[in-house]
């Protein structure tokens, strides 16, 4: 069985390899102690399905999926990354003027 720490590290490494800045991902995603609490509660409840609202880049989703492979996970997010990039572009354009 994979540990929560190993699952989180796999998610962070994958996202880094995809071009996201590791420090940003680590700061914006679920922290290790919170991920461990989430998995401990989930293991006690043994859910067949999990609904995750606010997936962001998917670190907590990956941790859930790797640590609870028998549970089906449904994720919902408002595509925060696209909106965040748009905000940063607007801010950059304002600063350049």
For the segment 62-79, what is each residue's pLDDT rounded down to a tens digit?
999 999 999 999 888 776
Tokens 């995603």 sit on residue:
29
Containing domain of residue 57, as a range? 4-96
Quote the pLDDT of residue 85: 54
By the 10 Å C-beta count (0-12 exposed, 13-18 middle, 19+ buried), 11 is classed as buried
Tokens 């790797």 sit on residue:
66
Query: What's 53's domain CATH number?
Result: 3.40.50.150
Count of domains in the chain? 1
* Token pair belonging to 18: 């995809």
Quote the pLDDT of residue 91: 42
Percent of the chain with pLDDT over 70: 80
Sorted by sequence, the CB contacts under 8 Å of residue 16 that are 6+ apart come out as 22, 25
Backbone angles phi, psi at 2, to 5 degrees: -75, 145
CA distance 11 to 6: 9
User: Whole-structure pTM over 0.85, yes or no?
Assistant: no
């Amino acid at each position: 069985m994979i540990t929560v720490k190993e699952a989180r590290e796999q998610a962070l490494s994958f996202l880094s390899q995809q071009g996201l800045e590791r420090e940003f991902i680590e700061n914006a995603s679920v922290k290790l102690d919170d991920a461990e609490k989430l998995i401990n509660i989930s293991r006690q409840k043994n859910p067949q399905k999990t609904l995750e609202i606010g997936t962001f880049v998917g670190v907590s989703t990956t941790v859930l999926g790797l640590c609870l492979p028998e549970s089906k996970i449904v994720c919902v997010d408002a595509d925060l990354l696209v909106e965040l990039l748009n905000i940063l572009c607007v801010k950059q354009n304002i600063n350049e003027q």
